[in-house]
Amino acid sequence: MKNRITRNVSLENGEVIQKEFRNLKAKNKQCSILITDRRLIIYTFGSELSKGKRVKRQVMNEIDLRSIHRFEYFYEIQARSVVYRLFGLIMFLAGLILAYLTVIQKFPFGLVQSTLSMAFAFGFCGLLVVLGISIVFSTVKVLIMSMKSGLEEKTSLLFYPTKENELCRRYIAGKIHAY
């Protein structure tokens, strides 16, 4: 399948393309969305988990705009893993310990006698402290779009919050709620 959806979709008589979003930044996937006056066509290509194995999959969903009865979009803030945060905490503590050793003149990398080398040592320790704290408190923000049409058909996509993804979300919401 090609990345341009218009080449892979045959339009019905009288059906008009409203908007095409070609390269949306989805999480671990490529995503393209085509909106006509009757249908919403979503093409995704990327890796997914299937029976415990990672496979590359191409999926094209065609959803009638009038059949969508539930459309949700929200931001989810995901915290980093415990190992990642533990690494940040270790960096933070190492920076504090090295700063303390510099103050009492027991710096482990040799004798810190001059003012310039002492300023360099404090700068290095400060950098370790700031990086450690930022790693401990860092999070990932994800935009989740899910829609339900028919009885059991549910489409859910994970996007990075970019301007193009926001524009796509607003445009789809406007087209769905117009009916």
Mean pLDDT for the chain? 83
Confidence at residue 82, expressed as pLDDT on a 0 to 100 scale: 93
Question: What is the distance between the alpha carbons of residues 70 and 45, in angstroms, rounded to a whole number?
Answer: 24
What string of DSSP letters covers 89-113? Answer: HHHHHHHHHHHHHHHTT--TTS---
Question: What is the distance between the alpha carbons of residues 161 and 140, in angstroms, rounded to a whole number?
Answer: 10
Question: What is the distance between the alpha carbons of residues 51 and 150, in angstroms, rounded to a whole number?
Answer: 26
SS (H, E, C) 13-36: CCCCEEEEEEEEEECCEEEEEEEE
Listed residue (29, 59, 54, 3) closest to 160, CA to CA: 29
Q: Which positions of the chain have pLDDT values less than 70?
A: 1-4, 107-116, 177-179
- Residue 80: beta bridge partners? none
Confidence at residue 114, expressed as pLDDT on a 0 to 100 scale: 64
Confidence at residue 178, expressed as pLDDT on a 0 to 100 scale: 47
Question: What is the distance between the alpha carbons of residues 11 and 39, in angstroms, rounded to a whole number?
Answer: 10
Question: What is the distance between the alpha carbons of residues 165 and 178, in angstroms, rounded to a whole number?
Answer: 20
pTM exceeds cut of 0.95: no
Confidence at residue 136, expressed as pLDDT on a 0 to 100 scale: 94
